Amino acid sequence: MKIGYARVSTTDQDLKLQMDQLTKLGCKKIFSEKISGKSSNRPKLNELMSFAREGDTIIVTKTDRLARNTIDALTIAKQLKDNGIGLKLLDLGDVDINSDLGHVIFTVMSTFAELERKRINQRRKEGQDKAKAEGKHLGRHKDTVLRLKILELLRSGYSKNSIARSLNCSRTTVYNVAKEQVDIANSDLS
């Protein structure tokens, strides 16, 4: 049986192209998920690994969709090989991943996928550092309406846990707002 695996890193990305390719190749079942490839705990991949049986072939559109680091990629490939399950990566053509040559090619491609991930992270960090040096705001802006509600409830004597529950926000947010108020009060005393 041909089984497909499709993955994108964020919920903003679309699985449609991968799903269409896998369907055209005759995959009877396709496992798909929106989760980072750096995570070794990917529920749908784990489900796929449990579902596949000897003689099945798993098809993935690109090497970096399966894993973002070489060790994970080789571990997955070895587990499949040990269970008699084939692995076909469309970006590697018709190379049998379980052959000696296929294993070498797969290792090299996995290494490049890992390198690309590191380069993306490096470029992101450089961009953040540049923006920070230019005085630009990084991250989410503070929700002033939520902060005012938190302050109002804190002044009314509500507990931090009850405030978090009633406003559907994290306790960390409530604690941060409370701490900011203490810091402001302390700086006024100085």
Reply yes or no on whether 9 is catalytic. Answer: yes
Helix residue ranges, H only, 25-93: 43-51, 63-66, 70-82
84 lies in the same domain as 152: no
Helix residue ranges, H only, the chain: 16-24, 43-51, 63-66, 70-82, 100-133, 144-155, 160-167, 171-189
103 lies in the same domain as 16: yes
> What is the full per-residue pLDDT of the chain (190 aa) written as tens digits?
999 999 998 877 899 999 999 999 999 999 999 988 777 788 999 999 999 999 999 999 988 898 877 788 888 888 998 999 999 888 888 677 777 888 788 888 888 878 888 898 899 999 999 999 999 888 888 888 999 999 999 999 999 999 999 999 999 999 999 998 887 767 666 6
In a domain, 134, yes or no: no
User: Domain total for the chain?
Assistant: 2
pTM above 0.85, yes or no: no
50 contacts 83 by C-beta, under 8 angstroms: no
Residue with tokens 């009877």: 28
Distance CA 159, CA 175 (A): 10
- Phi and psi at 101, nearest 5°, equal -65, -45
User: Which CATH number covers residue 152?
Assistant: 1.10.10
Q: What is the DSSP letter of 141?
A: P
* Domain boundary residue, one of 121, 154, 177: 121
3-state secondary structure of 27: coil
Q: What separation in angstroms does the CA of 29 have from each of 23, 133, 157, 163?
A: 9, 49, 55, 46
